[in-house]
Amino acid sequence: MIIMFYNLKSSLALSKKVTAQISKANDEQLESIKDEMTDKMEVPIGWHIMGIPLSSSLICSLFSCAMSLMPLGIKMIDNFNWPKYPTLTGVFITSIIYCLFVYISAFSIVRGFYHAIKIYLAIYVFTTTLASLNFIFDIVAIYQARMHSAWLISSSVISMLLIIFCIRSLNSRMFYKSVAYYLFARAWRKKLYRQKYKP
């Protein structure tokens, strides 16, 4: 399991280490951090600076959540006699909160913040739980011959595939290079800020 998520663990370790360094660094140390992150990127210009792994994982997470949350809410109403309107209201509120957290954490990752990656991964775990529960309910319904809609099982399968693609995007060498680029940009911004407001 550790080998499977090697790139993701490396991205987290890099972000944690460099975030701590940036918070205490002087101008010379910030320049050294920039050089180190340039080496991590291997090439200064490339696909990694476009944020493709992060944006693709964000899109996959949003679609997976959308394809799981509402069907799961309906299943709770049908199978466990949950009150209809409070349940659907809860689904709606959860969707709004989910979108806010996803966008804010993704934006903070781009700004080079370590804890934003951890929050983003926690959101991913939540999304995986939703998709898995929805998929399990559909499998049980098929086994008990209670499901007649091919669309519902198809949506739950697609939701699971999106989850897999999401983790592949985050556990990629390109995401590691993207994190290095975000940290490079953060160190650069801090140095420019100091130069601008230097007494």
Identify the domain containing residue 138 by its residue range.
49-184
3-class secondary-structure state, position 146: coil
Residue 129 lies in a domain: yes
Q: What is the pLDDT of residue 147?
A: 58
Residue 191 lies in a domain: no
- Residue type, position 20, single letter: A
> What's the CA angle centered on 54, arms 46 and 39, to 5 degrees?
40
The average pLDDT across 164-190 equals 94
Please report, rounded to a whole number, the percentage of residues in the chain having pLDDT higher than 90.
66
Q: What is the pLDDT of residues 59-92, one digit of tens each?
A: 999 999 999 998 888 888 887 888 889 989 999 9
Q: What is the pLDDT of residues 119-139, one digit of tens each?
A: 999 999 999 999 999 999 888
Q: What is the pLDDT of residue 1?
A: 43
Residue 184 has pLDDT above 50, yes or no: yes
The average pLDDT across 53-59 equals 94
Q: What is the pLDDT of residue 170?
A: 94
Residue 114 lies in a domain: yes
C-alpha R_g of the chain: 21
Q: Contact 194/27 with Cβ under 8 angstroms?
A: yes
Q: What is the pLDDT of residues 105-122, one digit of tens each?
A: 999 999 999 999 999 999
Q: Assign residue 145 a region (left: φ > 0; alpha: ψ between -120 and 50; beta: otherwise).
A: left
Residue 54 lies in a domain: yes
Residue 88 lies in a domain: yes
Residue 2 has pLDDT above 50, yes or no: no
Domain count, the chain: 1
Q: pTM, whole model, 2 decimals?
A: 0.88
Residue 190 lies in a domain: no
Extract long-range pairs of 120-129: CB within 8 Å, 24+ residues apart. Answer: 121/170, 123/61, 123/98, 124/57, 124/61, 124/163, 124/166, 124/167, 124/170, 126/98, 127/61, 127/64, 127/65, 127/68, 127/163, 127/166, 128/163
Residue 19 lies in a domain: no
Residue 69 lies in a domain: yes
